[in-house]
Amino acid sequence: MERSQIHRVSVADQVAGILRQKVLRGEFRPGTSLQEIPLAEELGVSRNTMREAMRILSLEGLLKRSINRGIAVAQLSLKDVHEIYHVRRVLEISAVHAAKKPAPDLLREIRAALEEYEDAVRASDWVSAVSHDLHFHSLLIRFLGNRRIESFYQKTIGELRMGMVLVDRRHDRPDILVPAHRKLYQLLTAGKRKECAAVLARHLDDSESRLSRVMDSHESARVADAAVPKSKRSVRPTARVHD
């Protein structure tokens, strides 16, 4: 019984990995609806396995379920991005200003998240890098000491995950992302909250600007693709995974 469950989960993880790469490579563009049965047949797995794989990617923020469209690749409008970054500025900058006497345990968690983020960037593991990046910023919110705000913040930034992965993968100099986070940590631990807030504001401005540019390019590609007859679109073969 247990072996069967473990095996099924491992196959779902493999399928999730295949779908994840298709999303991050742009084969499944933002807004694309994904059908469980055709994808399951294409990969040679059961519908339950495909459903579990999609659940995994939904938790990562790469897929989104809606009543009318079912499962689709997560898609944000520019308005969504501007609103989310407005929330981030208000909460994160307020949190930094509230960090008058940071708890040593929390500072250690922030440092650990920073180091894991740096390792992921050096390895060009963008899915992990974005996870650690968002975790780093989430830890800042703890300075506000409000669990409801923390919960709201987590839900809000979860919508950014896919867009941030695409942005970091296409960044001309991914290595420059590391010093910005390192500087935030150094200023925070030094008690220089005003300087830290200023660096954070610039960092968020840069992040929003890069994400907006990538979204513009994806929208242009989507419009161009829609103008091409389906019969002329290239179809890439997919490796099969068996239960």
What pLDDT, in 10s, does the model give residues 37-83? Answer: 999 999 999 999 999 999 998 887 788 887 777 899 888 888 889 99
Q: Please tell me whether residues 70 and 91 are part of one structural domain.
A: no
20 and 117 both lie in a single domain:
no
Using the 3D structure, point to which of 54, 75, 96 is the last residue of a domain. 75
The answer to whether 43 touches 18, Cβ cutoff 8 Å, is yes
Residue 114 domain-assigned (yes or no): yes
Task: Say whether both 66 and 85 belong to one domain.
Answer: no
Same domain, 85 and 200: yes
User: Domain of 47: which CATH number?
Assistant: 1.10.10.10
Residue 2 has pLDDT above 70, yes or no: no
Q: What per-residue string of b and e applies to 101-111 under the rule 16 or more CB within 10 Å gives b?
A: ebeeeeeeebb
Domain identity same for 49 and 91 = no
- Short-list 67, 76, 68, CA closest to 31: 76
Give the CA distances from residue 110 to residues 35, 62, 128, 143, in Å, rounded to whole numbers and listed in that order. Answer: 39, 25, 16, 12
The rounded distance, in Å, linking the Cα atoms of 91 and 144 is 8
Same domain, residue pair 62 and 160: no
104 and 182 in a single domain? The answer is: yes
User: To the nearest whole number, what is the mean pLDDT of the chain?
Assistant: 83
Q: Give the pLDDT confidence of 168-220 residue by residue, as tens digits.
A: 666 656 667 789 999 999 999 999 999 999 999 999 999 899 888 877 765 55
- Same domain for 87 and 197, yes or no, is yes
The letter for the amino acid at 11 is V
Q: Are residues 10 and 82 in the same domain?
A: no
Q: How many domains does the chain divide into?
A: 2
Q: Is it the case that residue 120 has pLDDT exceeding 80?
A: yes
Query: Is 124 a member of any domain?
Result: yes
Q: Is residue 45 part of a domain?
A: yes
Query: Are 183 and 148 within one domain?
Result: yes
Q: Closest Cα partner for 66 from 77, 54, 78?
A: 54
**Quick one: 48 and 94 in the same domain?**
no
In this prediction, residue 214 carries a pLDDT of: 77
pTM given for the model: 0.72
Question: Domain range for residue 27?
Answer: 2-75
